[in-house]
Structure 1
Amino acid sequence: METKVTWKSGLIFEGIADSGFTIQLGSHTLEGEDAGPSPMELIGIGLAGCTAMDVASILQKKRQEVSAFEVQAHLRRAAEHPKVFTSAVLEYIITGRDVEEGAVRRAIELSSKAYCPAQAMFKQLIPIELIYRVYEDLGGDRRSLRYRGEYRDSQPPSLNSNQPGPA
């Protein structure tokens, strides 16, 4: 994959990737520079988007009747520069009719263990908690919580042991 960012002005850049799509990047630290998401926000969006696409695809293949779906990435950052991410919680929120909990858990598991390169990369660096809520679609804007849970994936040895590893 190849990407490029081109400076426009101030702290505004335009990014482009192999796909040809462009996105404007900005900085929320300077007044008037709110021209787009920051690079760190894009990393969070990329993580959530990567696993969301996997889970949605798997649930479709499992013929689950999903009417709404989102993944919220709750990312913690270090207080001091370079303010790296220190932990993440990925929250899968699914609404549908008779969506099976086993199908949801399996979709999350497959994304976490096999398909999502962003999650695989992050898991080497920080702990990631995976939680889910599934709502029954009652029609209109109404829904009812059907079940909630978490998927526990074992962390890499460097995060579970006293061996030197990422801080």
Structure 2
Amino acid sequence: MAFQGTTPEGHKITMDASPDHGGENQGPRPTELILQAVAGCSGIDIVDILTKMRLKLTTLEMEVSGERASESPRYFTKVNVHYRLAGEGLTPEKVERAISLSLEKYCSVSNSLRSEITWSYTIN
């Protein structure tokens, strides 16, 4: 049941259902890609924001997880992003400001998911 998507730039993404839904585990589930898209979009924003603050970011790692409704269509009700950052001049206030600006203002993925989602995150 694998599907391959191709972006306008020609990048290919293979998606598959879980084996209990007829898949063969040939790629991530579409819902997993949603969470990865949140991390990627937020990460791009955070690097850009901290660079504009003239801060030197040396490490940015993210783990993203979500909770879904118990009944179909099982949409995401909560998303948690755990950020691990390192660099020069980073303060908790500046990092939190960059994360907040990303998730609430700039990241088109997180803003696309806004309705009925409660966001939370942890830092380092």
Do these two structures clear the TM 0.5 threshold for a shared fold by scoring above it?
A: yes
Name the % identity. Answer: 31
Partner residue, 1:138: none
Q: Pick one of 81, 87, 110 that aligns with 1:119.
A: 110
| Preserved contact between residue 64 and residue 80 of structure 2 (Cα < 8 Å) | yes
Secondary structure, counterpart of 2:6 in structure 1:
strand
For 1:128 and 1:32, the matched residues in 2 are separated by 30
Q: Pick one of 35, 39, 44 that aligns with 1:48.
A: 39
Is 2:24 the partner of 1:63? Answer: no
Flag the structure with more relative contact order, 1 or 2, with Cα contacts below 8 A and sequence separation at least 6.
2
Q: For 2:73, give the aligned amino acid.
A: P
Distance 1:125 1:32, change over 3 A: closer
User: What RMSD over aligned residues (CA atoms) do the two structures have, in Å?
Assistant: 1.9
Partner residue, 1:19: 9
| Preserved contact between residue 64 and residue 100 of structure 1 (Cα < 8 Å) | no
Distance 1:87 1:32, change over 3 A: closer
| Preserved contact between residue 78 and residue 119 of structure 2 (Cα < 8 Å) | yes
Q: Which protein shows a greater Rg?
A: 1
More strand by share: 1
Distance 1:28 1:103, change over 3 A: same
- Give CA-to-partner distance per residue, 1:71-126, whole Å, 9 cap, x none: 22120112232222121112221122442223212211221232111111222221
| Structure 2 gap ranges (5+) | none
More helix by share: 2
Q: Which moved more, 1:94-103 or 1:119-128?
A: 94-103
Deviation (angstroms), 1:64: 2.1
Q: What is the TM-score with the length of structure 2 in the denominator?
A: 0.85
- Give CA-to-partner distance per residue, 1:6-44, whole Å, 9 cap, x none: xxxxx1111012122111111222577111111111111
Secondary structure, counterpart of 1:119 in structure 2:
helix
For 1:43 and 1:32, the matched residues in 2 are separated by 18
Q: Which moved more, 1:42-51 or 1:121-130?
A: 121-130
For 1:67 and 1:91, the matched residues in 2 are separated by 17
Is 2:122 the partner of 1:131? Answer: yes
For 2:3 and 2:23, the matched residues in 1 are separated by 14
Structure 1: 4+ residue segments shifted above 6 A: none
The count of aligned residue pairs is 123
Q: For 1:71, give the aligned amino acid.
A: M
| Structure 1 gap ranges (5+) | 1-10, 134-167
Within a 5 Å distance, the mapping from 1:74-153 to structure 2 comes to 74-133=65-124
Is 2:31 the partner of 1:33? Answer: no
